[in-house]
Amino acid sequence: MPRFAYNKSQLNERLQKQLKDAELKFVTAGSHSFYALENGGVLDLVQTAIDVDAQVGKLNAHDIFYGPKTIRGEAISSKTGINICQEIKSIFESFNLSFGDTSFVTDQGSNMVAAFNITEEARIPCMAHRCNTTLETAWNRVDAKNSTFAVFNLTLS
């Protein structure tokens, strides 16, 4: 007996077109890769929404999804040094790698520095991040000291 009542081939043409349009909108409006549609995270999200809908009845997706601000907060709170360290360890273990023989290039974020202090892995500062920080700091200082430069920047933004 099949686990689910329907699959896409059993849907009428109107519903198939509706699903295709929604997937296309997800990809194009969100600047996602077409492969994002195969990603388990997206499919898990859709399946969770279907399961919730099946339990409580027809819902409006806008009323049940939390949105970018809340979800961003969830992601940021999980980006602590300890959590990053644990994630790195699980990735190493999944590839059967050991600590101590890999170097990482990261930004100077306090969470990344803390994560690599815990693991004692070699962490190399990213030159692109350093250059960006240096140039941004210099630009802002010139902007603050030179009113003509500041006005020029305002016209560009």
- Spatial separation of the C-alpha atoms in residues 124 and 112, rounded to whole Å: 11
**For residues 84 and 117, is the Cβ–Cβ distance under 8 A?**
no
pTM above 0.85, yes or no: no
pLDDT bucket at 142, cuts 50 / 70 / 90: confident
70/125: higher pLDDT: 125
pLDDT in tens, 31-43: 777 777 776 767 7
End-to-end CA distance of the chain: 61
Residue identified by tokens 């960006």 is: 132
100/112: higher pLDDT: 112
- Spatial separation of the C-alpha atoms in residues 155 and 35, rounded to whole Å: 40
- What's the whole-number mean pLDDT along residues 143-149? 83
pLDDT for residue 128: 92
6/132: higher pLDDT: 132
**Within 10 Å of residue 17's Cβ, how many Cβ atoms?**
11
pLDDT in tens, 78-98: 778 888 888 888 888 888 888
**For residues 103 and 122, is the Cβ–Cβ distance under 8 A?**
yes
